[in-house]
């Protein structure tokens, strides 16, 4: 009974956050979120649901998750002084466990000075260049992956809560258009694989709904973690489409839209996937 | 415990090859393909869907070559999405080509009973003419595409004779 009330409350909070969509039981990473209104999916599921049991176990095992090396590197970076301002993340933000809690559930957000959206990696690099006077980390670097995993991990279990408001709506619209646009020689859209045929078997792979709640994700194929931006490139290339650059406006808008589609899903960084 | 996990990691990596058509390997194939102008064809109404009734090349298709093109991951890669039951036995000897048939599209068993030869040709050339929202690629078209990767620009996935060869195989699926 108490549990039920708690769940109902959580649902209420989430539905406020998500602007009307109602949320059902969040039973960990395989949570289904019942959507109402304008959301294209009747139920939202983490890719965890379709991962092989061995893969799920690798993700869940605190000591065996292969992304741990990166998580540790990120943790060390948090308090490492860098750049000519001689500052560390910690000097401005104190303990990441409290200050970074929930951050990953909100990004990408609108960034006034650039008049567009920025994602978590870009926010981190802005802190480095602006406040630490340090060099920005490269997209595929162990440093950027590590610090992003470490920051994102502080939101684990919290529901994704991307806000679509007057400022972000135009970018959300662009991300949405991208999602439904056929591209490449094979002429497929994201929606073909992740909306129409999720749960279906494409060769030996089971298609998921293509959510971002576990990124940066450790991919067994890559043998290292990768950002959601890198995943987009891979999905474009699969259909023989020319990918965009990581961090391009196109992909940041797409990330905002994709994360919105996953609103309500608990954060689960670093996820492990094929 | 450790060992089995390592073995599992390894298997997952190996198991991943050939998901859809692989860009790196596909590139080689694309270079060899002549960028000659596409053969023109006429679309008519078939009993069930649109159809192209005339052979694209005027030459008969070779069903043995057709099967090869179908299972080639750089070309038709049809089994990524379709089951062909009579080909299942071949997985024992050639698992990479024949195992793990996909379940995205309907099984092709009996397709020749559901569609005419002309309709099946249409499906291969451009399935969207029959099913506008389909995920199935158009294998013999190069126009009205968006952001095609440089090395595939202006090129079709397979050539006109490949279409006829695959068709020769499909019509046996009664």
More confident residue, A88 or B20: A88
Radius of gyration in angstroms for the set of CA atoms belonging to chain B, rounded to a whole number: 17
d(CA A259, CA A106): 9
Q: Cβ-count burial of A183 within 10 angstroms (0-12 exposed, 13-18 middle, 19+ buried)?
A: buried
Closest-approach residue (CA) in chain A for B14: A221
The model's confidence at residue A266, banded by pLDDT at 50, 70 and 90, is very high
The predicted complex's ipTM stands at 0.87
pLDDT over threshold 70, residue A195: yes
Q: Is the pLDDT of residue B22 over 70?
A: no
pLDDT recorded at residue A15: 38
With respect to residue B19, please indicate whether it lies within any of the assigned structural domains. no
pLDDT of residue B14: 36
Q: How far is Cα A128 from Cα B127, in angstroms, rounded to an integer?
A: 50
Does residue B111 contact residue B120 with C-beta atoms inside 8 Å?
yes
24-53 of B, contacting A, C-beta below 8 A: 26
Task: Give the pLDDT score at B21.
Answer: 54
Does residue B83 lie in a domain region? yes
* Segments forming the whole domain that contains residue B105: 40-170
Chain B CA closest to residue A184: B148
| Chain A residues touching B81 at Cβ < 8 A | 202
Residue A74 burial (10 A CB sphere; 0-12, 13-18, 19+): buried
Could A185 and B157 be called an inter-chain contact, meaning their C-beta atoms sit closer than 8 Å? yes
At residue A31, the pLDDT reads 65
DSSP assignment of B112-149: HHHS-HHHHHHHHHHGGGT-TT--SPPSS--SS-SSB-
Of A89, A92, A127, A235, the catalytic one is A235
Are A225 and A70 in contact, with CB atoms under 8 Å apart? yes
Q: How far apart are CA A218 and CA A65, in angstroms?
A: 9
Peptide bond before B98: cis, by omega within 30 degrees of 0? no
Residue B54 lies in a domain: yes
Tell me the C-alpha distance between A263 and B46, whole Å. 45
Q: Is residue B18 part of a domain?
A: no
pLDDT of the residue at A29: 63
Shortest alpha-carbon distance between residue B141 and chain A (Å): 9
pLDDT exceeds 60 at position A116: yes
Residue B1 lies in a domain: no
In sequence order, the 6+-apart residues with CB closer than 8 A to the CB of B91 are B98, B99
CB contact under 8 Å between B102 and A242, yes or no, is no
The beta-carbon contacts of A62-69 under 8 Å, at least 24 apart in sequence, are A64/B5, A65/A218, A65/A270, A65/A272, A66/A218, A66/A272, A66/B9, A67/A149, A67/A216, A67/A218, A67/A225, A67/A270, A67/A272
* Per-residue pLDDT tens digits for B47-74: 999 999 999 999 999 999 999 999 999 9
When pLDDT is cut at 50, 70 and 90, the band that residue B40 belongs to is: very high
Residue A62, C-beta contacts closer than 8 angstroms, at least 6 positions apart:
none
Q: Among partner residues B103, B135, B138, which is closest to A196 by beta-carbon distance?
A: B135
Mean pLDDT of chain B: 86
Residue range A205-219: mean pLDDT, rounded: 97
* B150 contacts on A by Cβ (under 8 Å): 242
Residue B51 lies in a domain: yes
Closest by CA position to B149, among listed A21, A105, A34, A186 = A186
So what's the pLDDT on residue A30?
Answer: 61
Q: Is the pLDDT of residue A213 over 90?
A: yes
Q: Is B26 in a helix, a strand, or coil? A: helix
What mean pLDDT comes out for the span B147-162?
Answer: 97
| Residue B6: pLDDT band with limits 50, 70, 90 | very low
> Where does the pLDDT of residue A202 fall: very low under 50, low under 70, confident under 90, or very high at 90 and above?
very high
* Chain B hits for A200, Cβ within 8 Å: 102-104
Tell me the C-alpha distance between B123 and B118, whole Å: 9
Say whether A193 and B135 touch across the interface (CB within 8 A). Answer: yes
- Report pLDDT for A33: 76
pLDDT on residue A32: 75
Torsion over CA: B134, B135, B137, B143 (sign): positive
State phi, psi for A125 to the nearest 5 degrees.
-65, -30
Helix axes A249-261, A169-180, angle to 10 degrees: 90
pLDDT > 60? residue B11: no
What span, in angstroms and rounded, lies between the C-alpha atoms of A225 and A215? 8
Using omega within 30 degrees of 0 as the cis cutoff, is the peptide bond preceding A270 cis?
yes
Q: What is the pLDDT of residues A17-42, one digit of tens each?
A: 443 333 444 444 666 777 777 889 98
Query: Which residues does A247 contact at the CB level (< 8 Å), separation at least 6?
Result: A119, A121, A122, A139, A229
Average pLDDT over residues B21-45: 63
Residue B37 has pLDDT above 90, yes or no: no
C-beta atoms of B147 and A197 within 8 A: no
Top-confidence residue, B15 or B72: B72
Pairs of residues, one from chain A and one from chain B, whose beta carbons lie less than 8 Å apart: 107
Is A92 part of the annotated catalytic residue set? no
CA distance B43 to chain A (A): 20
Q: For residues A86 and A83, what is the distance between their CA atoms, to the nearest angstrom?
A: 5
Tell me the per-residue pLDDT of A136-194, one tens digit each, with 9 for 90 and over.
999 999 999 999 999 999 999 999 999 999 999 999 999 999 999 999 999 999 999 99
Q: Does B71 touch chain A (CB under 8 A)?
A: no
Q: How confident is the model at residue A2 (pLDDT cuts 50, 70, 90)?
A: very low
The pLDDT confidence band at residue A103, using thresholds 50, 70 and 90, is very high
% of chain A residues with pLDDT over 90: 84
pLDDT tens column, B78-102: 999 999 999 999 999 999 999 999 9
A195 Cα to chain B: minimum distance (Å): 11
pLDDT tens by residue, A230-245 = 999 999 999 999 999 9
- Cα angle A79-A106-A20, degrees, rounded to a multiple of 5: 155
What confidence score (pLDDT) does residue B63 get? 97
The A-side interface with B (CB below 8 A) comprises 52, 54-55, 58, 64, 66, 181-188, 192-193, 196-197, 200-205, 207, 220-221, 223, 236-242, 274
Cα angle for residues A82, A85, A90 (degrees, 5° grid): 55
How much is the pLDDT for A10? 42
**String of b and e for B12-30 (b: at least 16 CB within 10 Å)?**
beebeebbbbbbeebeebb
List the end-to-end C-alpha distance of chain A, in Å, as a whole number. 39
Considering its fold, how many domains does chain B have in total? Answer: 1
DSSP labels for A174-232?
HHHHHHH--BTTTTB-HHIIIIISTT-EETTEEP-----TT-SEEETTTTEEE-HHHHH
Give chain B's end-to-end CA distance (angstroms, integer): 49
% of chain B residues with pLDDT over 70 = 79
pLDDT for res B42: 96
In a domain, B97, yes or no: yes
This prediction has a pTM of 0.87
Residue in B81, B137, B152 nearest the CB of A202: B81
Residues of B in contact with A241 (CB under 8 A): 146-149
To which H or E segment does residue A38 belong? none
Residue in B99, B135, B147 nearest the CB of A242: B147
Residue A25's pLDDT is what?
40
Judge: B13–A221 Cβ closer than 8 Å, yes or no.
yes
Q: Do B20 and A202 touch (CB under 8 A)?
A: yes
In a domain, B96, yes or no: yes
CATH code of B135's domain: 1.10.760.10
């Amino acid at each position: 009974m108490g549990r039920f009330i708690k769940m109902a409350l959580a649902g209420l909070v989430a539905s406020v956050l998500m602007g009307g969509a109602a949320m059902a039981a969040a039973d960990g990473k395989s949570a289904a979120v019942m959507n109402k209104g304008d959301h294209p999916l009747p139920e939202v599921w983490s890719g965890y649901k379709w991962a092989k049991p061995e893969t799920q176990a690798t993700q869940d095992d605190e000591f065996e998750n292969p992304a741990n090396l990166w998580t540790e590197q990120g943790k060390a970076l948090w308090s490492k002084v860098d750049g000519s301002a001689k500052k560390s993340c910690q000097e401005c933000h104190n303990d990441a466990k409290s200050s970074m809690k929930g951050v990953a559930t909100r990004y990408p957000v609108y960034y006034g000075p650039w008049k567009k959206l920025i994602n978590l990696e870009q926010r981190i690099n802005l802190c480095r260049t602006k406040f630490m006077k340090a060099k920005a980390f490269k997209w595929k670097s162990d440093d950027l992956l590590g610090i992003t995993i470490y920051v994102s991990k502080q939101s684990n279990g919290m529901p994704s809560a991307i806000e679509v408001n007057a400022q972000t709506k135009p970018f959300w619209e662009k991300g949405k258009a991208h999602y439904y646009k056929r591209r490449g020689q094979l002429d497929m859209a994201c929606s073909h694989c992740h909306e129409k045929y999720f749960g279906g078997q494409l060769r030996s792979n089971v298609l998921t709904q293509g959510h971002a709640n576990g990124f940066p994700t450790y991919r067994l194929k890559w043998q290292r973690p990768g950002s959601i931006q890198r995943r987009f490139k891979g999905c474009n290339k699969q259909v023989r489409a020319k990918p965009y650059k990581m961090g391009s406006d196109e992909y940041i808008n797409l990330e905002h839209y994709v994360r919105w589609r996953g609103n309500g899903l608990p954060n689960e960084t670093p996820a492990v996937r094929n | 415990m450790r060992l089995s996990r390592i073995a599992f990691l390894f298997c997952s990596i190996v198991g991943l090859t050939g998901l859809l058509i692989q860009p790196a390997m596909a590139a080689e194939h694309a270079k060899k393909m002549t960028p000659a102008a596409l053969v023109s064809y006429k679309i008519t109404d078939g009993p069930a869907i649109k159809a192209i009734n005339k052979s694209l090349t005027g030459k008969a298709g070779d069903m043995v070559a057709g099967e090869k093109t179908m299972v080639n991951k750089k070309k038709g890669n049809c089994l990524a999405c379709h089951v062909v039951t009579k080909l299942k036995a071949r997985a024992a000897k050639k698992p990479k080509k024949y195992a793990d048939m996909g379940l995205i599209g309907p099984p092709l068993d009996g397709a020749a009973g559901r569609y005419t030869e002309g309709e099946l040709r249409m499906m291969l050339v451009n399935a969207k003419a029959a099913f506008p929202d389909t995920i199935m690629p158009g294998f013999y078209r190069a126009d009205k595409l968006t952001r095609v990767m440089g090395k595939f620009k202006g090129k079709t996935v397979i050539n006109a004779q490949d279409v006829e060869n695959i068709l020769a195989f499909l019509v046996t699926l009664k």
